Chains A and B, each alone.
Chain A
Amino acid sequence: MDKPFPYSDLVMDHFANPRNMGDMENPSGVGNVGNPVCGDMMRLYLKIENDVIVDARFKTFGCGAAIASSSILTEMLKGKKIEDALKISNEAVAEALGGLPPTKIHCSVLAEDALKAALADFKKRSESK
């Protein structure tokens, strides 16, 4: 099929039809990360109840791989306990997308960073209550 080599079908699908894109009213935790080299920015919103991620949304400024990475991350997160979410690595994100070209691996790393930042933000907010 005519897709921009070497993006996989899954990457193109998540890019063209992003899942859970948007912001969130009263998020439990927000992760904001950026990569200065290529200027990518990812924002992850989490809704957490009883230590389970019940909802996840994202907004991303970035290339096809960046948008796809954040989109698939939100799907991987919904319904996960925090302790399981913490185990999600950038390799898992890239694998879930059917692989990423070497120059785009950093997009999956950014997704992992966004997740860690969101969970750290959630921890900070609950501790300050």
Chain B
Amino acid sequence: MMRQEIKWSFEAIGTSWEISLYQPVTTQQYEQLQTSIHQKIAEFDLTYSRFRLDSIILQLSQPILSGIQSHSVEITPEGIALFDIYKELYTATKGLCNPCVGATLNGLGYDSQYSLTPGKMSAPPSFDVVTLDGVTLSTTQPVCLDFGAGGKGCLIDILANILESQDITSYTINGSGDIIHHSDAPLRVGLEHPVQNDTIIGITSLTQGSLCASATNRRQWRGYHHIINPHTLTPVRDILATWVIAPTTLLADMIATCLFLVPPEPLKEIAEFEHMIIDAKGKIDISKTFSVEWVV
């Protein structure tokens, strides 16, 4: 379909981004948007990344001096929603979705140096050691937090808010397969084959809302990949790929990861969503309202 589009592609936080606007903007507006977006991404990365040694949350992994009860850092206001959804899903998944898994992932080799050399792996502490009061994030024991399950989705929602605050209501933000789309015309999204990456198995039409995909095929090394079951300390083997459509990109991103760890049922308490899951036996579980045009 024909659609007037202003497309902006860039690299940020280690991946490719594409922002499309379907309404006219002035050059000045466009440049201001680009600046705001870059600034926001940089701020988010500095606050929440596990991969940069100067990040704010990484300070919580420092040893706590004796005589002191806890460490605290100040996060950004957007982190409140992120933290809250992690708390809800930590409960709903009975601890399988746990952001304290950073040290475990480091032990696997998925660290800031990308050493990809499996070493000693340890079980993550309980997420209960971490609390949030306003924007003050505290922990009673050193903890390496990993917001990989929802960080990108959260950031995409933040960027969408920037667009909306500039009266841009018709757009797509695509953070390497995690997508928010608002426009009269639906977005035709190809669902990537979880094994043969240059093929798609179907197309879904995203009308308004967020779609996130999760799969373990790309970040794999020496028999490991990046989605770990924190109870067994092994990469999840029985699920290959998930796709989720949810009211926010934060939710879609989090649930897409959680579906590697639990079935859809316990997550339905948290939010309404549509899903498609492909397991290692080749079974596809697809919710009734997730409509796919199969391409076989």
Binding between chains A and B: no
User: Which residue numbers of A lie inside 8 Å of B, CB to CB?
Assistant: none
User: Which residue numbers of B lie inside 8 Å of A, CB to CB?
Assistant: none
